[in-house]
Amino acid sequence: MPATPRVSSSFQTFFDEAPDHARAWMSAVEGLSQASALDPKTRSLCYLSVIAALRLTSGIPFHVQHAKSLGARREEVVSALLVGLPAAGHGVTAALPEALQAYDEA
């Protein structure tokens, strides 16, 4: 049985304490996903690249597990996290430990 994706405590608090805002946010997220020309797995891997570059590591476990559920291999997740290395610098490597743990748990 696959692990339930872990949502960060800050995002869970957002949903619990500001449900109307959260619904509006998720509506925008869904609309942007539908507008994308990328397939879901590629879009998910790209999103991992962005959050690693922005050092938003609290979202890494959830999004890694989502990418895996869409068929992303472990090596693809690692490559997605590191694709921003030349532009964003070594900071993207901070996402690796948590990402690999989340991938292996899923």
Q: Is the dihedral of CA 91, 94, 99, 104 positive or negative?
A: positive
Map out the domains of the chain as residue ranges.
9-105
Q: Residue 1: pLDDT band by 50, 70, 90 thresholds?
A: very low
Query: What pLDDT shows up at residue 3?
Result: 54
Among 3.40.50.10680, 1.10.357.10, 3.40.50.10800, 1.20.1290.10, what is the CATH number of 9-105?
1.20.1290.10
The tokens describing 12, both together, are 């869970």
Give yes or no for a contact between 79 and 52, defined as CB atoms under 8 angstroms apart.
no
Return mean pLDDT, the chain: 92
Q: Give the tens place of pLDDT for each residue, 44-83.
A: 999 999 999 999 989 999 999 999 999 999 999 999 999 9
The rounded distance, in Å, linking the Cα atoms of 29 and 33 is: 6
Q: Which pLDDT score is estimated for 42? A: 98
- Residue 2 clears pLDDT 60, i.e. is over it: no
